[in-house]
Amino acid sequence: MVIYMGKNMSRKAQSIFTLSNLIKLVAIIAIYLVIMAVMEGDFATRHFKSLLVPIGINIILAVSLNITTGFLGELSLGHAGFMAIGAYSGALFTIFAENHTGLPAPLAFLLGIIIGGIMAAIFGVVIGIPVLRLKGDYLAIVTLAFGEIVRAIINFLGVTGGAKGLNGIPRYTNYKWTYAMVIITIILLSNFVKSRHGRVISSIRDNAIASESIGIKVSNYKIMAFVIAAFFAGVAGVLFGSNLSILKPGNFDYNKSIEILVIVVLGGMGSIKGSVIAAIVLTLLPEFLRGASNYRMLLYALALIIIMLFNSSEIRQRLEDSGKLPRLPKLKARVK
């Protein structure tokens, strides 16, 4: 299963040196310079600087969850489980590398990230298989069960430190690594959803039976979506662990999966840009409302309900028709 990145195989191979790509490259570098100035300089508070990494991590998590929930159209409530697997694998590796090998830190970290992503991706296959035949409600519950099973097992195993948590993770994460990972994630996933495989996955969301009937192996693509989402969740997990230097199973519970889901829903399912913006907003907002964190849960819950109701309501129909709001990707209609 080869994934073509950035190239549209149904047409003649196009050069990647287009004008729009060049503009994007300049923008990426420009943003990096701005971030570097902010971080190294004295303009911003320590508080703000410390938020850059969590923002990046949340962006990666939200964009990867969007692949399953927004593009494949299946609710995955176990995303935190993938993050946990990646986090612990990467952390164990970096701890091992630091204490037992002479690997230079950047190399060890890079390997840690890759290992974390791959381990999570492996479990993406593990969960992909049971959910092959499932849809909708059942699939969501199985992903939820998966997340809880992962957490219970991490709690149980000795090598992960159990409930006490995994301590002493070398703190490699900094804004440079995070920014790099965020950009890589966004580029890879944007290209993926525009590629042939990505469009197949979207078509499954729109009408699975129709897709099946034209010869698409739905199950393969379902697994693909889960694996890719899991990989990036794992990467985010490794960044998370190396930022806090301690990992506890409690960090990756059902609530965490819901938090990421709220970001995806808020940003718009099926919209990567939306996920990015929503991730930034929802990471910064709680910091300003820190005294009102009791209300935060309430606000998230209301946001979920209201957005869902609004999306399906007649008001939205009218707004869409008059062109004021972009049409949402049509999610899979209910089968009677």
Q: Which of residues 31-50 bind another protein (CB under 8 A)?
A: 38, 42-50
Query: Which residue number, 10 or 42, has a Cβ lying nearer to another protein?
Result: 42
| Residues in 165-194 at the binding interface with another protein, rule: CB under 8 A | 165, 167-168, 171
Query: Which residue number, 220 or 311, has a Cβ lying nearer to another protein?
Result: 311
Using the structure block, give the residue that is written with the tokens 């960044």.
239
* CA end-to-end span of the chain: 34
Among residues 28, 39, 51, 110, the one that binds another protein under rule CB under 8 A:
51
Among residues 301, 317, 318, 321, the one that binds another protein under rule CB under 8 A:
301
Among residues 18, 157, 184, 318, the one that binds another protein under rule CB under 8 A:
157
Size of the site for another protein (CB under 8 A): 96
| Cα 184 to Cα 146: distance, rounded to the nearest angstrom | 27
Please name which of 148, 36, 25, 161 lies closest in space to residue 88, comparing C-alpha atoms. 161
Query: Which residue number, 8 or 312, has a Cβ lying nearer to another protein?
Result: 312
Among residues 39, 110, 122, 153, the one that binds another protein under rule CB under 8 A:
153
Binding window for another protein (CB under 8 A); candidates: 98-106, 191-199, 226-234, 251-259: 251-259
Amino acid identity, position 308: M
The secondary structure of 267-315 as a DSSP string is H-TT-HHHHHHHHHHHHHHHHHTGGGHHHHHHHHHHHHHHHHHHHHSHH
Please name which of 128, 107, 117, 146 lies closest in space to residue 236, comparing C-alpha atoms. 117
| Residues in 274-293 at the binding interface with another protein, rule: CB under 8 A | 277, 280-281, 284-285, 287-288, 290-291, 293
Helix (H, G, I), strand (E, B) or coil at 91: helix
| Cα 222 to Cα 215: distance, rounded to the nearest angstrom | 14
Residues 6+ apart with CB under 8 A from 290: none
Q: Does 250 bind another protein (CB under 8 A)?
A: yes
For residue 197, what are its two tokens?
A: 């495989």
Please, what is the minimum distance in Å from the beta carbon of residue 118 to another protein? 20
| Residues in 218-247 at the binding interface with another protein, rule: CB under 8 A | 243-246
